[in-house]
Amino acid sequence: MKKYLFLTLVLLAPIIVYADIVEIDGIYYDVIVKGDVAEVTRSPIGYNGDIVIPESITYDGKKYVVTKVGNNAFHLERGVTSVTIPNSVTTIGNSAFWNCTGLCSIIIPNSVSAIEYGAFSGCTALRSITLPNSASTLGTSLFSFCTGLKSVVLPNGITAIPQDMFKGCSGIESITIPNSVTTTGEYNQEIKGETNVEIIPV
């Protein structure tokens, strides 16, 4: 009986996915060995300049597809000026580019389906951004305190603008909003006529 109980507990235990942290061409990754995927992660020495993330990396003779810009991956990396995200990435994690004050441009492909909480919060040098139509999940505070942000194009298909998405975006001038949006919420004052923002329906 005791043996049977022990075996049951072992079988019900969660499967542990092990990851290695590796550096390839100046970019650090969490390599999920069991899933054949990799996520961009924080660098112990920091990131600078123009970052071009590859679609895949090779580690220990095996190929891993890069599917995510991980949580806090470029958090407070003020020396990063531009980022190109590959078509393999599906998720931009929480606070991935939080307070990247030197970030001027970012290319987000149509493969990205989720952009999580505060991903671009505090990116004060960012002037414009177009979110791909594939991005069906948007986190709260996505562009909060992006004081230099002037224009935003939101993806088709979303039905609501997340809480505090444009909080503190004092320089915003135009927002392209799809007709699928049914509510902007009381929290997005910048798009409720309290500032001179041009609303462009599509």
Q: Tens of pLDDT along 102-160?
A: 999 999 999 999 999 999 999 999 999 999 999 999 999 999 999 999 999 999 989 88
**Measured distance CA(122)–CA(86) in Å, rounded:** 23
At 66, list the tokens.
């890069």
Q: Where do we find the tokens 């924080």?
A: 42
Percent of the chain with pLDDT over 90: 71
Confidence check: pLDDT of 202 > 50: yes
